[in-house]
C-alpha cells in the first residue's frame, strides 16, 4: 500500500436506481490522493464530481468499490466509527450550510460539541480559528449578517475545528464573486501550507485549478479522463475532455467555417517563450501565418502560453512549417473543429 496516500479510491461505482431507470453516476473510479496535496477534481456539471467527493466521507454510499481513508476502508466501519472517521475529514460547501440560528462562535463550536471536546478548550480553539480565517471581529455575529465570503470563512473555520487531516471543498467558491473567490483560494492555500492539511477541491472552473491545485483529475461522463500534476495536464492535455477544459477557446471559435488552411496549437512554457518561434518560422519559410488566438497562463509560478495559428493553404509551405515547429522546444498539435 502507498504509505503517503491519505485517500485511495478503488474501482468505485455509484449507481442511482429509480423505478424506471438506472443512472451510473460514477463508473470504475480509481484515484489516489497523497498527504499535503491540493487535489482538484474538475468536470462539467453532471459529470459525477459532487457524488465522488461525497463518497470520500461516505455521505454517499458507493454501489461497489472501496474508499480508503488513511488506509481504512470506510464502508467496513460501523456507524459509530464512521462518525469518528468523519471528524477527521472536514467539508465545506457551495451554499456554506451554516446554522442560521447560531452565532459564528457557536457554529464553530458545533463540530467540537459533536466530538465531545470540553467547552473551555473548544472556546479557545474558536479564537485560534477565527484568527486563521481573519474574522475575529465577527465572533458574535449571525450568518445572516455576513457576506458570502465571510460565511465561507466561517465554514472553513468550522471544518478545521476538529483538526481534520483532509478538507473536502464542494464547489466552495462557485457562489462567490471573482475577488472573493481569490481570497478564499489563497486562504485554502495558506491552510494547506501552514497546517499541512490535504485539500480536495471539486470545481467546474479551470481557473480554480490553475490558481491553487498541485494535482488534478478530470472527470467526464462518470469516469476519470485524465489525472496528474496540474502543470503536466496544462502543457500536454492528452484526452479530448482535458483539452476542452484546458483550451476552452476551441468551443468559442468555429474553425470549421474557415477551411483555407490547417490550424495548429503551439504550447510553450516559461523556458521556450523567450525564443521568437513564430518569427523565426516565418522568416525561414518565407510565408506569413495567421495568428488566431494567443493566451498565457500562470500555473504554479510558471508561465504557460498557447497560440493557435493558421498555416498557409499551400501544402508544401505548410509541411515545411510543421517540420520546423517539430524541431523547436514547443509542443505542437493540429486543431480541428472541436465544437462537436
Partner 1 sequence: MLSNFFVHINETTIHMIQMGILETLYMTLGSTLIAYIIGLPVGVVLVITDKNGFYPIRWLNGVLNVVVNILRSIPFLILLFAIIPFTRLVAGTSIGSTATLVPLVVSAAPFVARVVEQSIKEVDGGVIEAAQSMGASPMTIICKVLLPEARPSLLVGSAIAVTTILGYSAMAGVAGGGGLGDIATRFGFIRYQKDIMLITVALLVIIVQILQGIGMYIAKIGDKRTIG
Give the nearest distance from C-beta 158 to partner 1 in angstroms: 8
Which three cell numbers, joined as nine digits, stand for 285? 519559410
Which three cell numbers, joined as nine digits, stand for 302? 510558471
Pick between residue 175 and residue 303 the one whose CB is nearest to partner 1: 175
Rounded Cα distance, 286 and 271, in Å? 26
Residues 62-91 touching partner 1, rule: CB under 8 A, are: 79, 82-87, 89-91
Q: Which of 4, 46, 71, 99 binds partner 1 (CB under 8 A)?
A: 99
Asked if 338 contacts 243 with a C-beta cutoff of 8 angstroms, the reply is: yes
Asked if 14 contacts 25 with a C-beta cutoff of 8 angstroms, the reply is: yes
Inter-helix orientation angle 104-115/148-160, to 10°: 20
Pick between residue 199 and residue 242 the one whose CB is nearest to partner 1: 199
Give the interface segment with partner 1, choosing from 67-75, 111-119, 193-201, 279-287 (CB under 8 A).
111-119
Rounded Cα distance, 293 and 182, in Å? 26
Give yes or no for residue 162 binding partner 1 (CB under 8 A).
Answer: yes
Nearest to 220 by CA among 233, 204, 207, 200: 204
Q: Which of 4, 11, 64, 101 binds partner 1 (CB under 8 A)?
A: 101
Pick between residue 158 and residue 215 the one whose CB is nearest to partner 1: 158
Residues 276-295 touching partner 1, rule: CB under 8 A, are: none
Asked if 311 contacts 261 with a C-beta cutoff of 8 angstroms, the reply is: yes
Asked if 174 contacts 95 with a C-beta cutoff of 8 angstroms, the reply is: no
- DSSP conformation class of 36: T
Pick between residue 8 and residue 50 the one whose CB is nearest to partner 1: 50
Pick between residue 90 and residue 149 the one whose CB is nearest to partner 1: 90
Asked if 239 contacts 46 with a C-beta cutoff of 8 angstroms, the reply is: no
Give yes or no for residue 23 binding partner 1 (CB under 8 A).
Answer: no
Q: Which of 35, 66, 110, 180 binds partner 1 (CB under 8 A)?
A: 110
Pick between residue 67 and residue 309 the one whose CB is nearest to partner 1: 67
Rounded Cα distance, 55 and 74, in Å? 9
- Please tell me the count of residues contacting partner 1 according to CB under 8 A: 34
Asked if 157 contacts 132 with a C-beta cutoff of 8 angstroms, the reply is: yes
Give yes or no for residue 317 binding partner 1 (CB under 8 A).
Answer: no
The residues of the shown chain that bind partner 1, judged by CB under 8 A, are 57, 59, 79, 82-87, 89-91, 93, 95, 97-102, 110-111, 113-115, 141-145, 155, 158, 162, 168
Amino acid at each position: 500500500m502507498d504509505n503517503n496516500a491519505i485517500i485511495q479510491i478503488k474501482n468505485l461505482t455509484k449507481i442511482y436506481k429509480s423505478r424506471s431507470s438506472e443512472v451510473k453516476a460514477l463508473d470504475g473510479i480509481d484515484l489516489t490522493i497523497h498527504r499535503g496535496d491540493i487535489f482538484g477534481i474538475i468536470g462539467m456539471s453532471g459529470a459525477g464530481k459532487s457524488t465522488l467527493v461525497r463518497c470520500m466521507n461516505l455521505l454517499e454510499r458507493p454501489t461497489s468499490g472501496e474508499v480508503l481513508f488513511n488506509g481504512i476502508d470506510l464502508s467496513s466501519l460501523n456507524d459509530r466509527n464512521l462518525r469518528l472517521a468523519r471528524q477527521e475529514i472536514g467539508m465545506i460547501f457551495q451554499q456554506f450550510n451554516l446554522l442560521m440560528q447560531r452565532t459564528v462562535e457557536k457554529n464553530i463550536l458545533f463540530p467540537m460539541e459533536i466530538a465531545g471536546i470540553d467547552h473551555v478548550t473548544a472556546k479557545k480553539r474558536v479564537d485560534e480559528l477565527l484568527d486563521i480565517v481573519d474574522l475575529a471581529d465577527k465572533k458574535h455575529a449571525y450568518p445572516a449578517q455576513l457576506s458570502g465570503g465571510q460565511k465561507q470563512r466561517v465554514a472553513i473555520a468550522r471544518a478545521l475545528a476538529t483538526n481534520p487531516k483532509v478538507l473536502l471543498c464542494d464547489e466552495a467558491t462557485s457562489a462567490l464573486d471573482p475577488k472573493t473567490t481569490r481570497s478564499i483560494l489563497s486562504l485554502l492555500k495558506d491552510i494547506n501550507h501552514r497546517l499541512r492539511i490535504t485539500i480536495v477541491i471539486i470545481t467546474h472552473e479551470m481557473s480554480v485549478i490553475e490558481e491553487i491545485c498541485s494535482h488534478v483529475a478530470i472527470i467526464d461522463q462518470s469516469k476519470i479522463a485524465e489525472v496528474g500534476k496540474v502543470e503536466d495536464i496544462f502543457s500536454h492535455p492528452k484526452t479530448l475532455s482535458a483539452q476542452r477544459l484546458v483550451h476552452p477557446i476551441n468551443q468559442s471559435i468555429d474553425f470549421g467555417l474557415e477551411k483555407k488552411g490547417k490550424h495548429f496549437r503551439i504550447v510553450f512554457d516559461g523556458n521556450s517563450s523567450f525564443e521568437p518561434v513564430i518569427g523565426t518560422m516565418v522568416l525561414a519559410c518565407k510565408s506569413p501565418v495567421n495568428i488566431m488566438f494567443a493566451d498565457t497562463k500562470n500555473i504554479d509560478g510558471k508561465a504557460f502560453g498557447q497560440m493557435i495559428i493558421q498555416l498557409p493553404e499551400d501544402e508544401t509551405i505548410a509541411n515545411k512549417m510543421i517540420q520546423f515547429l517539430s524541431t523547436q522546444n514547443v509542443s505542437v498539435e493540429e486543431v480541428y473543429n472541436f465544437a462537436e
